[in-house]
Structure 1
């Protein structure tokens, strides 16, 4: 008999939480619900979930603060639930360590697909034990450690996986569909901008001028390009 996978649902909208919990239980998930940001750490350690559904706006600690705290101790997939679709939310969420996000109102089948994708395609397994180096940039796949100019760069799990994928295909234009299939386990729907946002975040972190990028380039109509010889200064 297969073990039920566990979902920790953190949502202060009790009516929304009720139907999400009931729906996921119908899909054979074991669901624990908490409604306050300050309760998440205890629930997480006691329940040991396989995935966390985390609302951005919470009483007590915010969803972003909770995400940062959980990411310090675990690589468990975190899917943010947000009523805001602007780029600021996405950037902050990914930098905090979120793996994915769902915009409210939540559609049941879409939410289920995101959960299944997060569970099946957890990025950066321990099998990736080698190191990729370009000039002053060094990426250790096993330790999930990035150094640039002899300084350690802190990246969320999602950002690290995206950087690793780009660096693994240095000099190649990787299309969005390939990125989505590899890192999210699904095809690109033609609208999702998450990796565009992540690329902007990587440019910010590595001080790559967005008006004239040299390290991370967007090839319009095709995809993304990691420039191998741009890491010497």
Structure 2
């Protein structure tokens, strides 16, 4: 993962400069764009390991950039939000962001989040495992997931989440474990990121197969993938 290319889309020029200096010491190749429309075009025309996206941008708002980006790309996206923008954070996750970080933030926290995302996507790209549970099939090598004959349109974090649940099919997986494995960090107080990603995967499974509940929430514990062959 040396010299992973990271695109920063943020209109705060000074922040971009500081981040570029700090991230360059971590063996990242950094580019910065300060306009939403131009950032979208850049993200779609080049191969990046990660996009850091501010939600308040000139030219095109960050959520619109993310929405258009997700129509054509699965590149991991870490969104930056102002404190208090809870609705925008949740909407960003629902659209397809991998994680978010509120401003102001500690650069060390940003670097930790970036490393966590890249570790997950690097593992996913190089894993050679095929998983099948009932009518759900996942191919880690091709990064494809299917339910019956319908391919699921999953983001990278949703893919990793479904993969983790398949590995533990029929057993409860705690929110803490899912956050550590899928997001690569500890579960924080009032942290609902993993729950939004669960909701997205649930919705996509239901939409693809109209097959009812496949992921069950276990109050006070976590989530489990239902194994239908065990249901009587």
Asked if TM exceeds 0.5, the reply is yes
Residue of structure 1 in register with 2:153 after alignment: 154
Residue of structure 2 in register with 1:38 after alignment: 37
Deviation at 1:204, TM superposition (A): 2.9
Q: Trace 1:77-226 onto structure 2 (pairs within 5 A).
A: 77-83=76-82, 85-86=85-86, 89-90=89-90, 92-122=91-121, 124-135=124-135, 137-148=136-147, 150-207=149-206, 214-226=213-225
Structure 1 residues not aligned, in runs of 5+: none
After TM superposition, the structure 1 stretch with the greater mean CA deviation from structure 2, 111-120 or 186-195, is: 186-195
Query: Helix, strand or coil: the match of 2:128?
Result: coil
Query: Cα–Cα, structure 1 residues 231 and 9, in superposed 2: closer, same or farther, change >3 Å?
Result: farther
Structure 2 residues not aligned, in runs of 5+: none
**Alignment root-mean-square deviation, CA:** 3.2
Offset from partner CA, 1:33-91 (integer Å, 9 cap, x none) = 1111222255447764432211123223333343355456655432111225425633x
| Distance in 2, Cα, partners of 1:3 & 1:224 | 35
Task: Please say if residues 180 and 186 of structure 1, whose CA atoms lie closer than 8 Å, have aligned partners that are also in contact.
Answer: yes
Query: Cα–Cα, structure 1 residues 155 and 171, in superposed 2: closer, same or farther, change >3 Å?
Result: same
| Count of residue pairs the alignment pairs up | 225
